[in-house]
Structure 1
């Protein structure tokens, strides 16, 4: 039987000849052509119901769609979604504020650093566009997300949460601080989160140590910003970053309390032209004692909220003090090493850590001292910090320390300023005198006796002992600070040394005032000619003031401060124990300053209405009291001043030039009508002491709308 034929194979591989390519299959599709890409718009049912004016991103996504992408598992998509939110909010910033803040709050704890960095930039930009009223209903939820980030297990997320708190403090500080320190302990989630971030509570392994010195600096700076607003709001403590730069002493300063009361009633009590007062007819002393010069309430403590505030502040300071001291001890050798000439990022971070540690000590210890009075425990911790700072004082102005801060000062100057502020915390609180009813009959003799008795009850300790070796007396520390201030205010021939800026001068003023008021020596006899150590800073202060330009910010701030000091000194009813001894060199300098006030008014002219108003108000008060009320030799205002100032004031209104004829003075160019009226009131009060002043005003107001007011 023959064999069956072989079945043909289904697939037969063709042999390729050498040098020949593979042949194209018979059923192959030709793909050699090219076509353009066709993009079809999304076709969704909800897009058809969207309003025509609803903004969309460049990809055509609405706000809801972009927010939904914040939950995407890919970090790049989440970062692009934040950019899409900003793209929509640029068109409509006030759109769905609550929805936007809820969405952004959920991204605070994102595990990608790029997403968190984009979030911080977006939140800072977005909050600056919104009114606080529109943010108020939605901020609590954002704060809950922020406090959750502050307690996160990853230190990088806690660090970015601290940065977010700093942003919120810049825009909505009242919501972040809340009622602290009036609230019960542990009720402020943000503060508790900052404590956890700094390792002040709970497990020490959750500190910012893993993020390095920069992470600790960020957390401490955030806590400092928190405390600044809380203390300014609840205790009416002046913010160092508003009226003056740098950390300043926060004590129970009667001078600062006077400024607030004094400014409230200026312009409402005296108006000789309107009410028909004449020089000498108004009993200024009685009005001052009954209206706004009564300071008997200073230092009086409440029973409820004040005690709770002190408890909160003391608890926080007790927890924070060891960290602040250790931070300074670790950073100071790096920041202020004498052999370092090149500024590096390490030097800058170390310098900032030293500054923020000192600033936190000043604010917390000062606030506690302000309310609780003499607290020996606080004095010991403050002195412990001073002992660590003493080897570096005055702090050098190297390249790292010479960089300018946000306050316009160098780090070196701010560190020296912080040291001086801490030293003033060791000073005894300014006592408040109890004024007897018989003081009016005793006059200056009785007042000086009361001042000596008030200061004699407060003694400077010879040394404040702390743990460790070596003691530093308070007298020595005061002398060091006074020498440094004198050096800052003194003239220098070195062209490489920058002159003292107006911001630095304003920062020194609270310390200068405290040292001038302080009576360090205890006078046991009735010999009032013994000089006081207030001249150590008082002489350089007034000399620097007289050298400054009349229109400068330095002269304006210094004049205001010196005016307040003179008014306190001259008020027999004041409860502030301040008196310059008869042999003090400051008396002669104050006389020169009083004689220079008309010249200052002339040179300021219409350039600075605030400075002009301050000087005119002071001259009006002095003139209304009358020459006879300033008793020599106790008073700082000598009788010769009245005629000299009156004669010089005439040129402020009108000048009779020998060749150019009649020239109007700066008074006619004052932009504020109220200031012009105040100047005419001053002229009316001071005219009895010099007739030329009245004739100059007659020529100045002739033919103007002010002629009728002057003729009253």
Structure 2
């Protein structure tokens, strides 16, 4: 029975109709064939074979700049990376696109600054580093806001690797747009300082920099806020910023500190002391002479004494009358109009009653060296410039106060690994011409950053900043001089120069700290001013007393050092402020070293013009209303050293194009001396004859001297000296007469 009933149910199931449920369709049979199909369209807007590109400039992949710009927004990181490299390729193949299509590409490239892919960011940095310097400023102008806004946005990205790569892009932007990228940075510093002060001591007064809308902030304010945030300095952090800084890897800290120092180099350039000295590597900075003058007008006159040939717009016209030797009844008058005549200014500014000058001791020099920094300008434009400069100096010291916990913590963490006993400062691999290790580089960047901030300081330095600097230098002084700890013979010349530069940076910081506090207040720190100043003086005296190398640079053979450190002209210019301060207490040693170094250098050496101008200006202080640290005997030694070599140096400098600027400074110095009421008697006038007219002793051929090779303005200054040198020597008078006749015939 069970089997029969089961068979009947199976037979009924074969012919039973399945009931459909609600929402269910009819099921297909097991043996049914699906014949349905679907069709989709494929869009190829950028790869169409119908587009004719025969008349367009393309790269190796047949893509134009418009195609590549569109691919920069592609979802695939590989396509974006290829687009960035393709842009560099097409601009290299077709340089004309740099003027027509490069500027519109900048907004599209700016979007990739914060790209999530590391390869895209790396390619972008290489492209912008190559492209931005080649784009004219007029074409880049409309797009700099977009570039800087995307860069600051990437500096606050959630991922740290994106922020670090954005710093590299920012460094490129600083080189291309220095003024735009730094304007308004003081606002961020003052706001942050006020916010931290309010959090610690309660509410204070409003921000002296003034309110600024977040949507209209200057780029410098945005970038400075990014720097502070990267270092962990926020409105609620205060001294806890040092803890955040220690969390950064040494390489990341080095990148941030180096970029911040580069930013401040551009930010402080417009109002720093070196801004008036120009960027010429052969010129001598003059800001440290400012304290010797009682008014800004006298300092500005002193500043232009040896550099009048660079400001022809202030020139006046004078006439020089020269009698003809053949016919004494006839005379010729020639006008020379491209240099300013300073006889009237000299009469009003020279101290005619006493030309000996005032002698200063060390305490007097401490008191006066910063007194001129607060001088009142005499014109509205100078007043606004001075007000801006004081605001920048105040912001620099406020920034140092904010950064002090970070800098101190970074130095204490890095110094033991950078200066271990018998540790090689070079990279840990074999070979020659290697650079410094990351800890050593970080130490050098930290000290350079501190110096950049304190170079803009004024006489009214707050006690907090002075105490912080004394505390910092107390920790640094343990390792000074750094060049004595360089134990590698394989360091490159650039690395050796960096070691000496940081020695000089510490020396200048020690001088600035002593100058900012006349009475040398006793602060609880490891820094002993008297001991450190003596150590700095001994180091600089040793540095100046070393001989020249065959390559034309001065080497420092330090005790215990296996390799010499190079002192290049830029480093020597940086040494001059410290040297001027130390001359107030170490006359004999340093002055002897300076004069010996001046005579040891050849005229072609790049240090010679800087050293000549420094010594010349040190002597000229006694001839104007200024204070000088030198005695009468020391000034006579300086003048004798300069004039004894002047004819030869003037000849050699005028003979080569590279020395024309040096020759102009020597002519200006000689012109000023000859206008004095009592011109110097130590000048060998007979040796100046060949400078004007040459007579070959054997070939009996004569011709104009090297003065004729000088630029037009310097040549006219040399001719102007003829009226002042006339009557001093018969051979010289004859040579000058022939030179003057030659110039008149050439006119």
Q: Pick the TM interval, shorter chain.
A: 0.7 to 0.9
Q: Structure 1 residues 276, 109: CA separation in 2 closer, same or farther (over 3 Å shift)?
A: closer
Alpha-carbon contact 2:480-2:503 (below 8 Å) kept: yes
> Match for residue 536 of structure 1?
589
> Match for residue 697 of structure 1?
736
Find the residue that maps to 2:645 and give its secondary structure: helix
Q: Structure 1 residues 136, 384: CA separation in 2 closer, same or farther (over 3 Å shift)?
A: same
> Match for residue 328 of structure 1?
411
Alpha-carbon contact 1:386-1:423 (below 8 Å) kept: yes
> Match for residue 727 of structure 2?
688
Find the residue that maps to 2:271 and give its secondary structure: helix
Alpha-carbon contact 1:108-1:119 (below 8 Å) kept: yes
> Match for residue 352 of structure 1?
441
2:723 is the alignment partner of 1:673: no
Q: Distance in 2 between matches of 1:185 and 1:399?
A: 53
Find the residue that maps to 2:546 and give its secondary structure: coil
Deviates more, 1:357-366 or 1:197-206: 197-206
2:314 is the alignment partner of 1:314: no
2:335 is the alignment partner of 1:286: no
Find the residue that maps to 2:72 and give its secondary structure: helix
> Match for residue 226 of structure 1?
263
Aligned partner (choices 218, 223, 230) of residue 197 of structure 1: 230
Aligned partner (choices 554, 561, 565) of residue 607 of structure 2: 554
Q: Deviations over 1:33-70 (max 9, x none)?
A: xxxxxxx9968798867775433343333434333333
Alpha-carbon contact 2:418-2:440 (below 8 Å) kept: yes
1:503 Cα deviation (Å)?
Answer: 3.6
TM-score, length of structure 2 as denominator length: 0.71
1:583 Cα deviation (Å)?
Answer: 5.2
1:323 Cα deviation (Å)?
Answer: 1.3
> Match for residue 510 of structure 1?
577
Q: Structure 1 residues 100, 659: CA separation in 2 closer, same or farther (over 3 Å shift)?
A: closer
Matching of residues 275-674 of structure 1 within 5 Å: 282=343, 285-288=346-349, 298-300=373-375, 305=388, 308-341=391-424, 343-344=426-427, 348-367=437-456, 369-370=457-458, 373-396=460-483, 398=486, 403=491, 410-428=497-515, 459-461=518-520, 464-467=522-525, 470-473=526-529, 475-491=530-546, 497=564, 500-516=567-583, 518=584, 520=585, 533-571=586-624, 574=625, 576-582=626-632, 584=634, 587-607=636-656, 608-627=659-678, 639-641=680-682, 644-654=683-693, 659-661=698-700, 663-664=702-703, 666-667=705-706, 669-674=708-713
Q: Distance in 2 between matches of 1:334 and 1:309?
A: 35
Q: Distance in 2 between matches of 1:258 and 1:382?
A: 34
Q: Distance in 2 between matches of 1:189 and 1:612?
A: 46
1:296 Cα deviation (Å)?
Answer: 10
1:173 Cα deviation (Å)?
Answer: 1.2
Q: Distance in 2 between matches of 1:207 and 1:69?
A: 39
> Match for residue 120 of structure 2?
115
1:589 Cα deviation (Å)?
Answer: 4.3
1:238 Cα deviation (Å)?
Answer: 4.1
Find the residue that maps to 2:180 and give its secondary structure: helix
Q: Distance in 1 between matches of 2:746 and 2:90?
A: 62
Q: Deviations over 1:482-534 (max 9, x none)?
A: 21111011135979746744343333223223333x3x5xxxxxxxxxxxx33
Q: Structure 1 residues 539, 402: CA separation in 2 closer, same or farther (over 3 Å shift)?
A: farther
Q: Structure 1 residues 374, 620: CA separation in 2 closer, same or farther (over 3 Å shift)?
A: same
Find the residue that maps to 1:391 and give its secondary structure: helix
Q: Structure 1 residues 600, 132: CA separation in 2 closer, same or farther (over 3 Å shift)?
A: same
1:399 Cα deviation (Å)?
Answer: 5.6
Count of residues in correspondence between the two structures: 596
Q: Deviations over 1:656-702 (max 9, x none)?
A: 56655465463355242332322222232122333331122234455
1:282 Cα deviation (Å)?
Answer: 4.5
Q: Structure 1 residues 250, 561: CA separation in 2 closer, same or farther (over 3 Å shift)?
A: closer
> Match for residue 88 of structure 1?
90
1:389 Cα deviation (Å)?
Answer: 1.6
Q: Distance in 2 between matches of 1:113 and 1:542?
A: 56
Q: Distance in 1 between matches of 2:336 and 2:177?
A: 49
Q: Distance in 2 between matches of 1:374 and 1:262?
A: 31
Q: Deviations over 1:68-87 (max 9, x none)?
A: 33333332222112122223
Q: Structure 1 residues 240, 592: CA separation in 2 closer, same or farther (over 3 Å shift)?
A: closer
1:405 Cα deviation (Å)?
Answer: 7.6
Alpha-carbon contact 1:249-1:425 (below 8 Å) kept: no
Deviates more, 1:482-491 or 1:342-351: 342-351
Deviates more, 1:254-263 or 1:616-625: 254-263
2:231 is the alignment partner of 1:178: no
Q: Distance in 2 between matches of 1:122 and 1:190?
A: 22
Show structure 1 runs of 5+ residues with no match.
Answer: 1-39, 430-457, 521-532, 631-638
Q: Structure 1 residues 653, 99: CA separation in 2 closer, same or farther (over 3 Å shift)?
A: closer
Alpha-carbon contact 2:72-2:84 (below 8 Å) kept: yes
Show structure 2 runs of 5+ residues with no match.
Answer: 1-41, 188-208, 293-298, 321-333, 352-369, 377-382, 429-434, 549-556
Alpha-carbon contact 2:691-2:707 (below 8 Å) kept: no
Q: Structure 1 residues 234, 509: CA separation in 2 closer, same or farther (over 3 Å shift)?
A: closer
> Match for residue 152 of structure 1?
157
Alpha-carbon contact 1:98-1:138 (below 8 Å) kept: yes
Q: Deviations over 1:426-472 (max 9, x none)?
A: 2436xxxxxxxxxxxxxxxxxxxxxxxxxxxx9442x64234xx450
Q: Structure 1 residues 265, 479: CA separation in 2 closer, same or farther (over 3 Å shift)?
A: same
Alpha-carbon contact 1:106-1:145 (below 8 Å) kept: yes
Q: Cα RMSD (Å) of the superposition?
A: 3.9
Q: Deviations over 1:234-255 (max 9, x none)?
A: 345349995569xx99868458
Alpha-carbon contact 1:668-1:700 (below 8 Å) kept: no
Deviates more, 1:586-595 or 1:160-169: 586-595
Q: Distance in 2 between matches of 1:167 and 1:405?
A: 25
Q: Structure 1 residues 664, 488: CA separation in 2 closer, same or farther (over 3 Å shift)?
A: farther
Deviates more, 1:43-52 or 1:301-310: 43-52
1:351 Cα deviation (Å)?
Answer: 1.4
Q: Distance in 2 between matches of 1:662 and 1:57?
A: 63
Alpha-carbon contact 1:336-1:392 (below 8 Å) kept: yes
Q: Structure 1 residues 544, 668: CA separation in 2 closer, same or farther (over 3 Å shift)?
A: closer
TM-score, length of structure 1 as denominator length: 0.74
Q: Deviations over 1:216-270 (max 9, x none)?
A: 111111111110111112345349995569xx99868458966754356447358
1:135 Cα deviation (Å)?
Answer: 0.9
Deviates more, 1:78-87 or 1:199-208: 199-208
Find the residue that maps to 1:688 and give its secondary structure: coil
Q: Structure 1 residues 363, 351: CA separation in 2 closer, same or farther (over 3 Å shift)?
A: same
Alpha-carbon contact 1:214-1:349 (below 8 Å) kept: yes
2:173 is the alignment partner of 1:168: yes
2:305 is the alignment partner of 1:262: yes
Q: Deviations over 1:159-213 (max 9, x none)?
A: 0011111011111112211243376588411111122122222676996766611
